[in-house]
Structure 1
Amino acid sequence: MTFYHTIAETPNSTVVAEYMPTDRHSQESQSEEELEQECLLVLQSNGYEYLPLRNNEDLINNLRRQLSRLNNIVFSEAEWNQLLNNYLARKNDPIEEKTKKIQEDPSYNLYRDDGTTKNIHIIDKENIHNNHLQVINQYEALGMRQNRYDISVLVNGLPLLHMEIKRRGVEIREAFNQINRYHVNIG
């Protein structure tokens, strides 16, 4: 059976969402790995590209490719290091400052090797379909301890959402505590 839910309605138009229930596996508990795989499949079916990235080097290389694509630019090593070290991954910026940068002004004035300046967009807020959505799993973050995020969503290569999957019966608070521990360990 198909259900329709009205999202917005005006005298001239109506926007609806279609919901078609799918058969659930079983009423039994699923393992965290099964839940993770199901979440990855749902995201992929909604247009997210899956990448088998597992470490910081792979993540940074992908970020470079995605920002090159978005801005139609080939970064020299010096240009890339300038963007990465002076804007994206400044050592002393707390997470709140990094978040504020992305939300308030997701662009950077890059000084090119040839003396020109180019405005580099991190996220295209005006044309959101220019942004590329990716999903990774079991990413190991650098820090004092080995931290591994279950699922991370990348926008133009930038990890903007980390998910901790918990099986039925585990308190949701445990996932929040785990993310907080990761944040403290990474510094």
Structure 2
Amino acid sequence: MIKEKQIEENLIHKLTEELKYVYRPDIFDRNTLEQNFRQKFERLNRVHLSDSEFNRLLEDIISADVFVSSKRLREINTFIREDGTPLQYMLVNIKDWCKNEYEVVNQLRINTKNSFQRYDVILLINGLPVVQVELKTLDVSPRRAMQQIVDYKNDTGNGYANSLLCFMQLFVVSNYSNTYYFANNNLQHFNFNADEQFLPVYQWA
């Protein structure tokens, strides 16, 4: 039986070889994720931020509200720099998608004060995590992975609420044979258990 690690490697190979994602094994924790986002942000917006400006930007854009984060992804936003001048910036180039940078990371660990979670595969656009893929072996039901994601979201102080993971748009779960996906949502609308399906979950053809 194919192992979970092999399924993960196969997915990454497909993303890099066929879809031209860049594999980033050097991004493995919160710090490396944030530093990569800083590089992508500065390149996309043709700006150089001081350390204090970047830290303030993180505080400004990280939100526990999924809808606020989703809206910020798609709009032109404003940030006031240290000298008082406004910086009009984008997180994703909606009009010209080829100017965005697409990367894939695996086994990312986001440690917060209360949570020590690790994520199988995450897709990044301009350094922002937007799609999470949880993989299981054939003998494990994808619903186990769904429940795992919900448990992660319900974990006090989880990374989805206080790190760049707040920009997550889509969750994908697969056991190589069956693949399902569902959108991110705020906690009051994000409930699922193995017996009854509350989330709108869709299966890939």
Secondary structure, aligned partner of 1:149: strand
Decide which moves more: 75-84 or 45-54: 75-84
Decide which moves more: 74-83 or 47-56: 74-83
> AA paired with 1:128?
W
Q: Percent identity?
A: 27
Corresponding residue for residue 155 of structure 1: 125
Corresponding residue for residue 31 of structure 1: 3
Alignment counterpart, residue 24 of structure 2, candidates 32, 51, 69: 51
Instruction: Note the 1:27-176 alignment, pairs <5 A.
Output: 29-45=1-17, 46-52=19-25, 53-87=27-61, 89-90=62-63, 93-103=64-74, 105=75, 107-143=76-112, 144-176=114-146
The two structures have a TM-score, normalised by structure 2, of: 0.70
RMSD value, Cα: 1.5
Greater CA radius of gyration, 1 or 2? Answer: 1
- Pair 68,139 (structure 1): closer, same or farther in 2 beyond 3 Å: same
Secondary structure, aligned partner of 2:135: coil
> AA paired with 1:172?
P
- The 2-side partners of 1:157 and 1:59 are apart by 7
Unmatched tracts of structure 1, length 5 or more: 1-28
Superimposed CA distance per residue, residues 67-89 of structure 1 (whole angstroms, 9 cap, x where no aligned partner):
111111111123212221112x1
> AA paired with 2:35?
N
Once the two structures are TM-superposed, the CA of residue 95 in structure 1 deviates from its matched residue by 3.1
